[in-house]
Structure 1
Amino acid sequence: MPHILITGASSGIGAALARRYARPGNRLTLNARDPGRLDAVAAECRARGAESTTVPLDLRDREAVRAWIRALDADCPIDLVIANAGVNGGHPTGAVESEDVAFETLDINLVGCLNVVLPCVTAMAARGQGQIGLISSLAAYAPLADAPSYSGTKAALVAHGQALRAKLAPTGVRVNVVMPGYVKTPMGGQLKGWRPLEMSPDQAAERIARGLARNQEIVTFPSVLFHLARAGLVAPEFLRTAAMRAFRFQLRPRR
């Protein structure tokens, strides 16, 4: 029975991935901080035939997460972990984000992700198999001026994931970095502005699952936005600045 762990599974891409993998013969372990929404997703997964359990644990608690991962893997080895949990950060009025928001974003998006992933790396490398999917964003290549901490954490996940992939390849552990464009999710809805080629969470989940099955180093979509964002890395500064001003995003006030 394949055992799949998905963090940030209570809504958006995480919930869509849970539904995508929910079928008879699969065991899903779903994590998020909102137990009510998480239980609703788990119930839907059970209705589709999957064995589904929930763990409403704050991933910033390193010792608690390490103990949980070790116990979970000892009970049933984890075959695939998708580290999806994250927040936008930024500031709802477009002002410079506060220190508290910046560090919270760093702790959730990067540290929280690694709190889950690194114990999985240890277990998977020891038995010579397993797969890790890190959910980054095209903001890693095209940083959002109104969400610098979010952009920075997503860039860090790309670098960490690619290095980890090369390091773990000889052990039989596969590592993939996922870089979506605009996806219509509650978190994404906090950003106002032009959202080209936006897709639904279910469409995103299908592309992610397909890319993971193919063991692609970078699972990205839509391809046109990926290539534009990547080109921006080597574009002259004045062109990058002009583009960011033309397509400036602001966070919607949180409700």
Structure 2
Amino acid sequence: MLAERRLILITGASGAIGGALALAYAEPGVELMLNGRNRQALEALAGRCLALGAEVTLSPHDLTDTDALLRWLETLRDARLPDLVILAAGINISHQPDGNGEGVDAASRLMTLNLRVPMRIAQELAPRMQARGSGQIVFISSLAAWHGLPATPSYSASKAGIKAYGEALRGWLAPHGVGVTVVMPGYVASAMAHGMPGPKPWLWSAERAARVIRRGVQRNRARISFPFPLAFGTWCLAVLPAGLAQRLVGWFGYGVKP
């Protein structure tokens, strides 16, 4: 009797980290379900994953479309439950050049994709994993979750929210054999990272990030944060007095110029 393939769902697979993770997991005996907004990039990624021996299903749904998301979640509920779910879809915005802050519509869309969508997917799949007694959910947060960056307040808020949600979910699911990991990357080479204002210290390649994430997920680590110098520095911002932390953020080049 043939062993059942391991089913891995990755959202944001057409992005840098999601795509690198798809390739990191692509091997014989694995079925990848890849979601992403860029259909052309998704198809190219699928070809590379197939060449590595994985089976691939593409799900190019717009996750910010509530109706489309709910229909997709219905298909996930009716189909075979994934063994591993990596929620990597996300976007970033920053203050507008006119100094009037972030656009309301753009900020709302960001909060939907970065926070509400992964929560909704987890709310659909976690109880079924709990009933099955196995599975793992991975949330992609950010080191910006430790202390909000003045230039990207909505992004920082969304990543802080998903960090807290993932940590809470882990506490609920751990007694039932279901793992939850929160990933807090620093700067990873991508269009999103390069579009963010401020310096980019200790910039990692997406491939390096994917290797570290996969190792941590395999060990069911509660939190995976990297690179260490930036992770330690941002953690310090969270425990310092807020006024001092805010001054340090400005001194290091992450403030907003008047």
* Unmatched tracts of structure 2, length 5 or more: none
Q: Indicate whether 1:77 and 2:81 are aligned.
A: yes
Q: Which residue of 2 aligns with 1:214?
A: 219
Report the Cα distance in structure 1 between the residues aligned to 2:180 and 2:129, rounded to whole angstroms: 11
Instruction: Please say if 1:197 is aligned against 2:202.
Output: yes
For normalisation by structure 1, the TM-score amounts to 0.93
Contact 1:66 1:116 in 2 (8 A): no
**DSSP-derived class of the 2:14 partner:** coil
1:185 to 190, 205, 219: 190
Change over 3 Å in CA distance of 1:238–1:130 after alignment to 2: same
Per the normalisation by structure 2, the TM-score is 0.92
Matched, 1:18 2:7: no
1:110 correspondence with 2:115: yes
Distance 1:138 1:126, change over 3 A: same
Which stretch of structure 1 is more off in the superposition, 91-100 or 172-181? 91-100
Q: Report the equivalent of 2:59.
A: 55
Structure 1 residue aligned with 2:36: 32
Contact kept in structure 2, 1:146 and 1:249, CA below 8 Å:
yes
Aligned-residue offset at 1:196: 1.2
Match of 2:191, SS?
A: coil
Shift of 1:61: 3.2
Aligned residues: 251
Whether the 8 Å CA contact 1:83–1:133 is kept in 2: the answer is yes
The question of whether the paired residues in 1 share the 8 Å contact of 2:151 and 2:197 is answered with no
Contact 1:29–1:53 (CA<8 Å) still a contact in 2? yes
Identity of aligned residues (%): 42
Q: Structure 1 regions of 5+ residues with no counterpart?
A: none
Is the contact between residue 28 and residue 50 of structure 1 (CA under 8 Å) also seen in structure 2?
yes
Spell out, residue by residue over 1:1-27, the C-alpha distance to the aligned partner (whole angstroms, 9 max, x if none).
110000000120000000100111100
Contact 2:249 2:255 in 1 (8 A): no
Among 235, 242, 245, the residue aligned to 2:247: 242
Give the counterpart of 1:162 among 161, 167, 173. Answer: 167
Distance 1:115 1:245, change over 3 A: same
**CA distance in 2 between partners of 1:42 and 1:127 (Å):** 29
Say what the alpha-carbon RMSD is for the aligned residues. Answer: 1.7
Report if aligned partners of 2:30, 2:55 keep a CA contact under 8 Å in 1. yes
Code of the residue aligned with 1:204 in structure 2: it is: A
Q: Which amino acid aligns with 1:134?
A: F
Compute the displacement of 1:67 (Å): 3.6
Instruction: Kindly provide the amino acid, as one letter, of the partner of residue 54 in structure 1.
Output: L
Q: Deviations over 1:167-219 (max 9, x none)?
A: 11111111110000111111111024321111000000000001000111001
